[in-house]
């Protein structure tokens, strides 16, 4: 009988340590991914500044989630353009383009329907000797709650995967577009 209280006390101690330890985790996470693309920034920029083009290359597409529905609002491209999507796998989110510099940069805010926190992102286009380096950075705040902070570790890994997959899709689209232009 003396073993049961010791086991329960030990479990309680571990639970308290884990709970308190979660508060040591970061209150936000940042992910960045870069790809070198064989085209000029002026050819890549229209594919990122127009939200209707994102279906062709981003991770949020029907190939990854057949139930996905896209909706758009605001101007067709650049600052003020809106992209809303909803799907069984990817959930529901809205992205609003907040900054736009022709052939240089696109900034945005993204919100999930079930969250009040805004993810801020930026896609930079840097002219390189071999084409364009596309650098995508995203910063997501986390609720200051132990479960949310621990969940943030998983969310960061998922966000990194989404950025990699999206930029790989953009690179393929850019390559195919440049081949079509060369064939004309």
Neighbour tally for 31: CB within 10 Å: 21
Q: Is residue 2 part of a domain?
A: no
Q: Which of 79-83, 90-94, 159-163 has the lowest mean pLDDT?
A: 90-94
Report yes or no: 55 and 181 within 8 Å, Cβ to Cβ: no
Q: Is residue 155 part of a domain?
A: yes
pLDDT 10s digits, 95-134? 999 999 999 999 999 998 877 789 999 999 999 988 999 9
Helix (H, G, I), strand (E, B) or coil at 124: strand
Report the CATH number that the domain containing residue 68 is assigned in CATH.
3.30.530.20
Query: For position 90, what pLDDT does the model report?
Result: 83
Query: For position 75, what pLDDT does the model report?
Result: 96
Q: Is residue 6 part of a domain?
A: no
Average pLDDT over residues 135-148: 89
Report yes or no: 87 and 67 within 8 Å, Cβ to Cβ: yes
Q: Is residue 12 part of a domain?
A: no
Query: For position 96, what pLDDT does the model report?
Result: 96
Q: Is residue 178 part of a domain?
A: yes
Which of 160, 147, 168 lies closest to 35, judged by CA?
Answer: 168
**Angle (CA) 143 117 113, round 5°:** 115
Query: For position 8, what pLDDT does the model report?
Result: 78
Structural domain total, the chain: 1
Structural domain containing residue 124:
26-183
């Amino acid at each position: 009988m003396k073993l049961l209280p010791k086991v329960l006390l030990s479990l309680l101690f571990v639970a308290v340590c884990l709970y308190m330890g979660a508060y040591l985790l970061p209150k936000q996470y940042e992910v960045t991914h870069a790809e070198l693309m064989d085209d000029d920034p002026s050819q890549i920029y229209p594919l990122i500044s127009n939200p209707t083009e994102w279906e062709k290359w981003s991770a949020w597409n029907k190939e990854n989630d057949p139930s996905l529905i896209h909706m758009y609002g605001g101007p067709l491209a650049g600052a003020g353009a809106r992209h809303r999507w909803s799907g069984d796998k990817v959930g529901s989110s809205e992205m609003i383009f907040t900054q736009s510099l022709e052939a240089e940069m696109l900034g945005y805010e993204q919100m999930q329907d079930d969250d009040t926190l805004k993810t801020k992102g930026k896609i930079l286009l840097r002219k390189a000797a071999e084409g364009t380096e596309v650098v995508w950075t995203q910063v997501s705040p986390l609720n200051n709650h132990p479960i949310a902070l621990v969940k943030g570790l998983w969310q960061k890994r998922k966000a990194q995967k989404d950025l990699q997959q999206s930029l790989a899709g953009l690179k393929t689209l850019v390559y195919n577009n440049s081949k079509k232009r060369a064939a004309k």
